[in-house]
Amino acid sequence: MDKTKTILSAQQVSIGYTSKKDAIAIANGINLNLKAGTLTALIGANGIGKSTLLRTLTGIQNPLAGTVFLNNKDLNSYNATQLAQQLSIVLTESLPPSNLTVFELVALGRQPYTNWLGSLSNDDLASVEKALQLTQIEHLSAKKHFEISDGQLQKVLIARALAQDTPLIILDEPSTHLDVLHKVNLLRLLKTLAHDAGKCILYSTHDLDLALQLSDDIIVMTKDNLVHDSSKNLIANKVFDTLFDDPNIVFDESKNGFVVK
């Protein structure tokens, strides 16, 4: 596993929206470099543009300027299937009503590799089994996806992304609805996947303290700029002091967290 391999990078990227008349930029001059085998958290205040950044990085939205590279190739040059084999996502939106079992749901992750009918080969079945094992949900395989708890469903969706066998996994606020125990377990799982399976994992979150403790790197988005560095360096450079606009919320180094004055 080449730990120094760059999976996802951005060069001078501007993100934002285009309306009929002009382009509204949310952030400019973004440069990023995410490597294999790392777990990176994306932190920022509400409304700062985290979702927009994620959408740009996953190709759902086009950058206003600059280029996003996936495996050193322009993101735009991938066709849908190729992209699906390199990048998988985990979202928080609720699933449409259906009768899918946990196994079937995870198996859907194999679609970029299956034939026109979507039939599972032996290799596909093996990948699905492995994904179930890594997330420790084999005992849930036969259950319907609406019969399990939110936390378990979270794991199922991650297993699905794993089954998709992509070097890059991006998660959009995966810990939002979970209690502390589940949050910690989730991050531990992500960390294990990154280090043991060599995945490059990027996730957005509001839980800064846990991110600081369990992630390798953090991307901090503020109004003025975007910083990507290890937790240690970020704290040393006092980046978190200006994270929120409120002077009463202060970052306490000794506590590794925010304190209200």
24 part of the interface to another protein, by CB under 8 A: no
Smallest distance, another protein to C-beta of residue 147, A? 8
Q: Does 97 bind another protein (CB under 8 A)?
A: yes
Nearer to another protein (CB atom), residue 84 or residue 189 = 84
Torsion of CA 60, 65, 70, 76, to 10 degrees: 60
Residues 59-88 that bind another protein (CB under 8 A): 60, 80-81, 83-85, 87-88
Taking the complex as a whole, the smallest distance from the CB of residue 169 to another protein amounts, in Å, to 11
Site for another protein in 187-216 (CB under 8 A): none
Instruction: Answer whether 200's CB lies under 8 Å from 37's CB.
Output: yes
Distance CA 26, CA 48 (A): 8
Question: Strand locations in 91-186, DSSP E?
Answer: 168-171
Side-chain-side CA neighbours of residue 3 (13 Å): 6
Q: What sign has the CA pseudo-torsion 92, 246, 40, 256?
A: negative
| Residue 34 CB, nearest approach to another protein (Å) | 18
Verify binding: residue 112, another protein, rule CB under 8 A: yes
Q: Give the number of other Cβ atoms within 10 Å of residue 161's Cβ.
A: 25
Binding residues for another protein, per CB under 8 A? 58, 60, 80-81, 83-85, 87-89, 91, 93, 95-100, 104-105, 108-109, 111-112, 114, 116-119, 144, 146, 164
